[in-house]
Amino acid sequence: MSTALKQVFNKDKTFRPKRKFEPGTQRFDLHKRAQASLSSGLDLRAAVKLPQGEDLNDWVAVHVVDFFNRINLIYGTVCEFCTDKSCPVMSGGPRYEYRWQDEHKYKKPTPLPAPQYMNLLMDWIEMQINNEDIFPTSIGIPFPKNFIQICKKILCRLFRVFVHVYIHHFDRILLMGAEAHVNTCYKHFYYFSTELNLIERKELEPLKEMTSRMCL
């Protein structure tokens, strides 16, 4: 990464603190293996495949946390330009509008300005990945039976960040010279999510044309 890009993707721009893996744990080792594969220039399609003999839940957990950190960082670089005025609804162009729903305040799908939606989205994901009952960090503690379903929902919501950034704020990414970094992150996310069937095809529709040029 160039010096200019390092200044763009620095810790001060991070939307919120990173979730990290504890050294010495199996998940830390998996994380390092995945990072080494990416750094070595290995084909992204190959890099996302479940390594032989590894547990699917561990592999998914490592990637979900990593994608959260990366996508959170990407949005952090454009969030000052994503305001209630510029983005009064959370959308991906005129055809796609995302409404927020949770188990607390918004029990019905509710239209919200993009910044508010993003805050709720990142808060919700952070709660999931910091919940030891969902993402256990201690050896021997099993993942919940619905772990993959929870991860599917997390990845679905993270994809919406890509949609909004690409359609409404990619001019800022271009101005910062960060498009190659963001595109690589997107391709990694796309290959992983589709390789393991973790995202429904209908969710991918807003970026279908771009994806066909970039990934297929």
> Number of C-alpha atoms within 13 angstroms, CB side, residue 41?
0
165 with 189: CB under 8 angstroms? no
Angle, helices 26-39 vs 56-78, to 10°: value is: 60
Interatomic CA distance for residues 41 and 50, integer angstroms: 18
- The answer to whether 87 is a known ligand-binding residue is yes
- The answer to whether 79 is a known ligand-binding residue is no
Interatomic CA distance for residues 185 and 190, integer angstroms: 9
Q: What is the dihedral of CA 78, 79, 83, 88, to 10 degrees?
A: 80
- Per DSSP, what are the bridge partners of residue 99? 111
- Per DSSP, what are the bridge partners of residue 100? 110
| E strands present in 75-209 | 99-100, 110-111
- The answer to whether 151 is a known ligand-binding residue is no
Task: Give me Rg for the CA atoms of the chain.
Answer: 17
Give the annotated binding-site residues: 82, 87, 164, 169
Give the annotated binding-site residues for Zn(2+): 82, 87, 164, 169
